Amino acid sequence: MNRRILVFVILIALLLVGAFTLPVREWLAQLLEWIATHRQVAWLAFAAAYILACVLMLPGLILTIAAGALFGVLQGIVLVSLASVAGASAAFLIGRTFARDWARAKAQALPRFAALDRALEQKGFLIVLLTRLSPLFPFNLLNYAYGLTGVTLRDYVLASWVGMLPATAMYVYLGSAAASLAQIARGDVQAGTGGRILFFVGLAATLAVAVVVTRLARRALDRELQAS
């Protein structure tokens, strides 16, 4: 493992530890209160905070819900859509810059890894879309992980935007109906029927990911073995 990969692995580990051990919820609550009282820079501050949260692997759900309370439904959806895709793309590019060459070398050495990488390169849009619809795939970690694969930046960005849009719209709407930012910061917001629908859609997407990736990888693996 070369130095760049080691730095990348340590960085991801530190971000994960920080996200689970630091008082992130309290910090977000303070940030939201500040944004609410500085309306002239609210859009810019919120977008910057969301992008930074994606890169630092901090929970973005609170920010998504808060967008509804701060900006209303329509503006909140637009702002979260832009900021979440920008943040996810930044993390993707960091992963690709640090570790894509290493991942490509591993793919060349391991036929099964190469098959999975080839499947993502050929059907990247579909696979990214399905994983974005699924609540079982960790959003923040996935941003970095996709940077190691052969999926194109174009497919990644477009599929991420489309796949995240339904959940974004629902949670922004929930935030617009919340009693206060304090309630949102506590996580005291119920998703209701919409949340249950999204859960079952996500569950179906999870199963679809397993089927699609397995089939594509198997076909690619057969081609790799026949060519060798």
Q: Which residue has the higher pLDDT, 96 or 21?
A: 96
Please tell me the distance from the alpha carbon of residue 71 to that of residue 172, in angstroms, as a whole number: 9
62-76, 168-182, 212-226: the lowest-pLDDT one: 212-226
Mean pLDDT of 99-114: 65
User: What's this model's pTM, rounded to 2 decimal places?
Assistant: 0.73
Count the helices and strands in the chain (H runs, E runs): 11, 0
pLDDT: which is higher, 7 or 56: 56
> What per-residue confidence (pLDDT) applies to 83?
96
**221: confidence class by pLDDT, cuts 50, 70, 90:** low
Most confident by average pLDDT, 132-146, 198-212, 214-228: 132-146
pLDDT at 133: 83
Tokens 């339904």 label which residue?
Answer: 166
Among 9, 11, 20, residue whose Cα is nearest residue 59: 20
H/E run at residue 138: none
